[in-house]
Structure formats: structure tokens, C-alpha cells
Structure 1
Amino acid sequence: IDDFEYGQILGEGAFGQVRLCVHKATELQYAAKVLKKEKLIKAKQTKYVKSEKEILLEMDHPNISKLCYTFTDEKKLYFVLELISGGELFECIIKSNVANDNKELKKVAQFYMAQMLEALIYIHSLNICHRDLKPENLMLTGSGNLKLVDFGIAKKIDRPGPNTFCGTAEYLAPEVVSNNEYGIMVDWWSYGCIIYELFCGKSPFYSSSMAVTCQKIVDRDIYWPKTMPPDAKDLINGLLTTDPEKRIGGPELRKHPFFKGIDWKNL
């Protein structure tokens, strides 16, 4: 703990905060997630934190946030993660005005969704289901590459089975909303929602009422704007397939026409 100097708060959550920190010896900057043990125990969250730590330590991929150190003192747990300084992907797109140029937006969406695809293929190869894929969990590095973050409710799932209702309402797959057994295919549904949102500015099932959102998901009530590129629509349609056994996902998505021209080796 004393090897680091702690600076400004980068974010706050229910159980603690994320702070900028500097490793004194190397002067390298990191993001420290500092969690209060007492709050975690009260909310029965300790097993999730333990699971998050194990999952983060297992992963090593250029498009996934890296856990560099962990330590603990009497009152707090510390996760020292690489600092991802470019901000949220969607915020950067809005600031850059790319969204107003369909051709440019398609190029940007293609590139970042290809990087996200690589991250998902990788975590699923380790039987890790993220379970909370949403735009806020897609960050950019200083050099403009995508990083998937926040494995707080991620879980090892080797086959579909009874799992908890969790995640963010408008990105939930129908099998989660309906309290059915589910597996890693839930992540591909959320991925479809994110691609839709990149092109349309809002998620396909958004409503200010959670009940309405859930109903829209179950009914697969999707509005398709005319500006949506046909290959993007085809990809999203396949991802937003209600039956998880018929839903598309996995390495074969690299061959989808939407990703035509992507150099997978040099992403």
C-alpha cells in the first residue's frame, strides 16, 4: 500500500471508489479500486469480489482491463488496475461528431465492435460470462484502443444453468428477464444491443420504466431506422435472436459481412 501515492477520485460506487494512484518507484500511473470490507460483508458481496479478483487475474488480453496488483489492510481491499485514460467509447463518439456522418460512423463501429468481439471470444474461451455488457463498460486507451472493463458480476459458466437475475435492464437477454436458465449466450444479446445503440443513439429496448423495457425485450419489439446499414441490421438481428440456441455468437462472427475489410491479425 505504501508503494503507491493516491490522488484524485476517478469514480465512486456503492462499496468504495476508484482513485488515480502512482507507483512511487516507477512513477507509473494506475487506477486503484478501493473497497470497504465492512460494506462488502454487510451487503453479502464478499464472494463476488473474490470471484472478480480470480477472474481478473486469469485474463490477459489487449482489449480487457488488466489487474496489476491486489492487497488489503484492516479495513479495505485494493485492486490496482491499469489506467485507461481515453474515456468511455460512446462519449468519445458523441464528442467527435462521427455520429452525424453515416459512412464514418460505420467505420468506427466496425473497428471497435471487432475489438469487442475479440475480447468476448477470449473471455468465453475461459468460460467467463461478463453479464453486464453496456456502453459504460467500454473504455478507450490513450492510443484509442478499446478495453472491456468491470467484471464485478462476471461468472464462470461452462454450460447454461440456473443463474441470478443480474445486469442492466435494457441490455438483458430474454432468458434472464424471463428467469430461465442461461449461459454465455446472454453476452451476445447484449453485444447486439450495443451495436444497435452505436448506430441509433439509444438501446433497442430502452424505456424509462423497467417493466416496459422487460416487456419490449420479451416481445422483441425493435424499431429499425432507415439509416441502419443492411449488414449491421443483419448482424444485430442474428445477435438479438430470442432463442439462445439459435442466437449467433463466437468466432464465426468474424466472417460476417459487417466486418468485411477488418484485418483480424493486426487489430
Structure 2
Amino acid sequence: MNKPYRRTCRAFLDGEYSEGGRWQYMMHEKYSNDPQHYIRAFLLIQQDLKDLFAYVEPDDINLKTYSHRIHQLLMRTCVEIEANFTAILLENNYQKHGNWNMDDYKLINFSHRLSSYDARIPGWHGKKFLRTPFINWSHNKPLKWYQAYNKSKHDRQNNFKKAKFKHLIDAVCGLAIVITSQFSNNSYFPGPIGIALEYQGYDSDDKMISAIGELFRVKMPTDWPMDQRYDFDWSKIKSLSDPFQEFDHASCRGKPFF
């Protein structure tokens, strides 16, 4: 891949993502349209999740908990995931008549390999600390947390209990992954230019990076096929009129994942 795709963070041939300044392509104005718009929304949701933790402890024992606060935050999070999916497809020139739905959004797994990401919240109590919100896509199965969102959105009276804490955690971890798969941990806010400082916790050898906002730890995919990895010298292509290419999501319809 001698040009990066728009809104797409991928490993290079050596398996690394940002070492040696290779993250700089993400700072180009043609890489993404208004990334701060999406990052700010994510940070608001992240803060609201932190506030929720003051009442619902991040613990396995609470995964079946449900409430109006949990339901509302699940709704907002899934809407934000859809907004990011739409932006990725639009900026890669995806075209299809009619409304887009999950059949369209899941095509992003081909370009971003979302099902290969892991996420966790440091300080979680119990064994369910590692979340793989998109893993079902690799088996061509629906996302349970997204189904819970859809059912409780359209019929809250009868499906209110489906909006559980565990589905909220998977959804917010999913949003953290979607944001990371586009922007790594570059927040695009004023300050020193570069990737955020690394997490220095006692478990910082977990082979993960701190996501934007530093609540989540995210493991980037390590299984990119060699022919799908980036192989460009940004210093040589950054002055091109358009140093990016578009991923053809439409061509992936009907194909099995990986």
C-alpha cells in the first residue's frame, strides 16, 4: 500500500503503527474531515461513562445492571458509532441508494479490521475486563450490544432490560476502537503535535496503547496480511495534490471476512 486510505490507521510492513513519526499522515487536512468533531463527541461519552462509574462500579457483578442512565448512554454511544461509520464510508466515496444500515457499516471491517481489536478499562474488577465488541463480525454474526440498542430504541417498554451495563461497556469500547482505528491516539487538539504520552500504570506492558482520553487501553490488530499493510514514505508523498486513496467498500459486499 503506497498510499494511506482516508480515515484509516493501519500497520506498516514491520507491524508498527506510529513509530518513527509514521503517524504524521493522519495530520494532513485531506486525511479526514473535521476529526475533532468526532473526538469531542467521544470524549463527552467517555466522561459520562466515568460519571456513571460513581454509581455503578466497573465490576463483573454489575454487567446485568440496567437503568435509564445506562439506556440513554447506550443510545448516544451507538448513534455516535453510526456517525463515525458514515463518515468513514462517505470519505472513501462509498455509494449506495437508500438508507445505510449495519449491512453497509460492517463493510468497514474489511478496511479497518475492527474485529481484531481488543479494549479494556484499567481497574475493572473481575474476569470480564477484556472486551472484543466487533469479534462477531469475523464469524459473520450480529453484534449483540448493537442488537440490544436497536431493540430498546424501537420498543423501550418491552426491551428496556436489554440495555444492560455489559452492552453499554461493549458499545463504548466499540466507539473507542472505531476512533482509534481512524486516528490512533492523536487527539488533534492544540498542544504539542504528536502521539499522546504512553500510559505508565503497573500493567503498562499489556501490548496496548492508551486511547484518546486515556480511559481505555486498546490493542491494535497484529494480523494484517502483508499485502494490506502500509508501505509508504510519508516524506515523499505528502506534497502530492492528494496523497491518499479511497477504499472500495462496495467491492467487499458478499465476501467472507478474512
Q: Which has the higher contact order (CA 8 A, sep 6+)?
A: 2
Structure in which a larger fraction of residues adopt strand: 1
Structure in which a larger fraction of residues adopt helix: 2
**Taking structure 2 as the reference length, what is the TM-score of the superposition?**
0.28
